[in-house]
Structure formats: C-alpha cells, structure tokens
Structure 1
C-alpha cells in the first residue's frame, strides 16, 4: 500500500474499534431500557489506583465481600456504567434463563401449593432512576429520601424478571412477593407492581414493625417458614438481588441471585 493510504486505514480501524468497544455499545439503545443511558466520563475504566472495581464487584456477587456500607468512592462511575449499560442486563438475563430452565424441568403437582418467591427492589422493581439521580451507592442509605421515591410509584420493572414471572405463571406456579419494604408502603408497592406488569400474585409480604432491628435474613427466613409451615406452601424457587434474600432457612428448592453492586443488606 502506498504511504498516503495509511491515514485511511487508521481511520477505518479507529471507527471499527470505537463502534465495537463496550463503552460505545453500551450507549446504544437497549431493548426495554430501564433508565435512559447517558455518557459518564471515565466510567468504563476497570482499574483505579489500589483497587480493581471489576474485582470488587466480583467479590460482592460471590458474597466474599460482606457488611459493606457504601460502594468505594473510586468505583461509583464503574458501578453506574455497569448498571446503566448492557452488561447488567445481560447478567440478569443469564440468571433468569437458568431459572426458567430449572422451572421447565420440574414435575409440578398442580395442587396450588407450589410457589416461587420474588424479592421486590432490584429484583422485580428497579430503582435505577433514583440511583441515577442520587448517586450509585457511594452515599449512605437515606431512608426518608428513598421512601419519598417509593411513594412516587414510578419504579420500572426489571424486564428480565417480568419475563420470568409471566413464564412461571404459565406453568401454574403461584408467585409470592417478599420485600423489605415497610407494611405502610403496601398500597403504593402493590400499585407500582401492577402498573409495570406484575398483575397477579398469591401474597405480597411486607416488613411488619415487630421485625425492627432484625436482619433481612432473619425476617425473610421467618416469613418463608410461615408460608411453608402455616400455609402449606412449597417454595419451588426463590430469586432476589441480595444474598439475604436467598440464604437462611426455608429458602426453597433452588435459589437464584441477580446482580446488584449498589448496596448490601445483611
């Protein structure tokens, strides 16, 4: 090739690289987008001095990092980029696809006592609009601010979970929502679920005041035990974004963990 052809070759190479890089592809439209994507300067870098944010997220998802209060400040842009981009959706789909394969393999009794437990926040309802406005996990949890967001009744569905929910209903399974939201948020939570496509459920369980001071693991274990021992249900499957949704007692025949590096609930 003649020397004057190199600038053209470089331009073509640069265009292909940028068009196919994760940073560029994540800014393309994602089907059933949870929240409008926007460029976040420097958000795609995985490495910051002394800390790999990608490795930090792996530690969170594998439950090797526990008891943390906030996302490391250096990783806010990385977490924001992940949550607003395609990878979060792809990871969610991978979990849901496995859950559906499992559900299809079951021989159901069809007696109306087989249930699937869903968590709510970051499992069925997504709070990404809230976090996009207030920061991706680097600020301590503000219960009053988050409660105000809940009362707006604007949380969108996590599309992958909505698809799983509909498929499970088609099998004849019944759905129970078990959430850490307070009992006084029952009406707005039920309305929000209904608004985004979760129209049918067996029970919607919210946290009563007598669980105040107890961990999510203790609360959810107790409520699942009540479902099985007092109501005669059999928990076929259980899905949530926090480890505290799926560990403890009476967790079900099989559990599924959705990604969530935004916060940790013990």
Structure 2
C-alpha cells in the first residue's frame, strides 16, 4: 500500500505535462481516496480524526500537515471523497439560496473566496506536496502567475445557479493586488464570466489577519448598500469575523490553515 501513492502521483504528473488542465482535474478526481489512518500524528488522533478536528475548527493555528498524514491527505484531496464533501456543502448552499426572497434592487450578494474555493490549486499541490512542507510563497506565486488553476466544479455549479437566481457575486481573496490581471484571466478561463467586484488584498492590509482584512472589506460592501446573503470559503478565516452574511458555508481543505 505504501507504494501505491507515489505510483499514482507519478501517473497524474504525466497527465499534467501532456494534457490540458481540465483533463488533469478530471484525472486526479477519478482516483480513489485511501481511508487508512496513517499513524497517530497529534495527541493520539488518527489522520481521519485529525482532518475532522481541522474541519470543525477544533485544531487551529497549525502550520503543516503532520508527516504521518501526508499520504492520507493526498489521497483524500485526489479522491472522490473530497468532491463528495464539496458537493454536500454546495447542495446545502443551493437549498438555502433557492429559499431567499431577494430585494429586487441588485444589492443581494454572495461572497466567494478564490483559492480552494472558486479555483482549485490541486495541480500545484499534486506536484509540490499536500501541506507537509512549509508554505513556499515563491513557488505558489509562480503557479498563480501561470493562470492555469481550474475551477472547483462544485463551486462553479453554485456560481451559475446563484447568478440565475438574481444574486450578484463578489470575490474576496487574500491574493495581492499585483495579481489582479492574472486572477481575472484565470477566473474567466475557468468559467467565471461575470461578477460585481473582485477584491484583492491591498498593501494597506499588510500585517492584518485574513479575518480582519475580509471583515473590513465586507463592512465596506454593506456600507455601499449591499446585502450579503451568503458567504463561502475553504478557510474558517473566510467566514469568521464581522459582516459575514446571513449564512456561511465551509468547504473542506485539510492542506493549510490561514488565520
């Protein structure tokens, strides 16, 4: 079993270099996840229990995935369960969105995060690892600058349904303002064709936590007369703080933690 993951990873990397990003996305999500615990990484927890505690926000401020859970997290992210978990979140968001009574003035909003919410960076993590090593901003920014991140299919589905219901979409991302052009092009390429605002992190927010930064931007949206009906992200910092909206939805992401 220990030889299985390296062989699968090698296979998908061949796809990444020879096929389109869409083909790569389909390939990595077709793999089966491994449900094994893979050791006792934190206070005697199995890797499955560790991931549950991360998603429930019981384990916070962690820097890297425990080494013993490297294969487990990789197989989860590359397998069907990650997609099923994402689909479950989006299905609940859709039920809620369809129940809304909109104001009819174009001021009802849904806020989306970008990385691991709107766009999937799985091709990058499949190549560079699943959160065991410390975050490498240089390598990740090179990936972002390529503008090839595919859409997380479940989020793209939600996006389309929200627009059809008459909601406006706002993206709030921790990406810096210097990445506006490439982010705009990547969103369009991935299928996100229109939005009300694309908010990137300006230099004036240097030193701010993600919670403080995103709370401040949501506050400004509401001051401009918008109503935040829903808010979805992969990090707890996307949906905590103030002016979070009437309902929040947390997508799975056991690869990294942003405060």
Work out whether residues 38 and 71 of structure 2, in 8 Å CA contact, stay in contact via their aligned partners in 1. no
Matched, 1:232 2:225: yes
Using the alignment, how far apart are the partners of 2:30 and 2:116 within structure 1? 22
1:37 Cα offset (Å): 3.0
**Paired residues for 1:137-176 under 5 Å:** 137-176=131-170
Query: Unaligned 5+ residue runs, structure 2?
Result: 1-10, 12-21
Residue in 1 aligned with 2:172? Answer: 178
1:144 Cα offset (Å): 1.0
Using the alignment, how far apart are the partners of 2:91 and 2:187 within structure 1? 22
Query: Unaligned 5+ residue runs, structure 1?
Result: 1-26
Q: Which structure has the larger Rg over C-alpha atoms?
A: 1
SS of residue matched to 2:25: coil
1:130 pairs with one of 124, 127, 132: 124
1:148-204 Cα distance to aligned partner (Å, 9 max, x none): 000000100000000000000000000000000000000000100000100000000
Using the alignment, how far apart are the partners of 1:179 and 1:87 within structure 2? 26
SS of residue matched to 1:34: helix
1:45 Cα offset (Å): 1.8
Using the alignment, how far apart are the partners of 2:162 and 2:73 within structure 1? 31
Following TM superposition, the consecutive aligned residue runs of length 4 or more in structure 1 with deviations greater than 4 angstroms are none
Using the alignment, how far apart are the partners of 1:32 and 1:258 within structure 2? 23
TM-score (norm. length: structure 1): 0.85
Work out whether residues 35 and 84 of structure 1, in 8 Å CA contact, stay in contact via their aligned partners in 2. no
Residue in 2 aligned with 1:46? Answer: 37
1:255 pairs with one of 242, 248, 252: 248
**Paired residues for 1:192-231 under 5 Å:** 192-229=186-223, 231=224
**Paired residues for 1:8-157 under 5 Å:** 34=25, 36-37=27-28, 43-49=34-40, 50-157=44-151
Work out whether residues 35 and 128 of structure 1, in 8 Å CA contact, stay in contact via their aligned partners in 2. no
TM-score (norm. length: structure 2): 0.87
Aligned residues: 235
Cα gap change, 1:32 to 1:163, in 2 (>3 Å) = farther
Using the alignment, how far apart are the partners of 1:32 and 1:120 within structure 2? 21
Using the alignment, how far apart are the partners of 1:191 and 1:74 within structure 2? 38
The alignment's C-alpha RMSD in Å is: 2.0
1:249 Cα offset (Å): 0.3
Work out whether residues 55 and 252 of structure 2, in 8 Å CA contact, stay in contact via their aligned partners in 1. yes
Using the alignment, how far apart are the partners of 2:116 and 2:26 within structure 1? 13
Of residues 42-51 and 137-146 in structure 1, the stretch that sits farther from structure 2 once superposed is 42-51
Using the alignment, how far apart are the partners of 1:148 and 1:36 within structure 2? 23
Residue in 2 aligned with 1:10? Answer: none
1:53-97 Cα distance to aligned partner (Å, 9 max, x none): 000000100000000000001101000000000000000000000
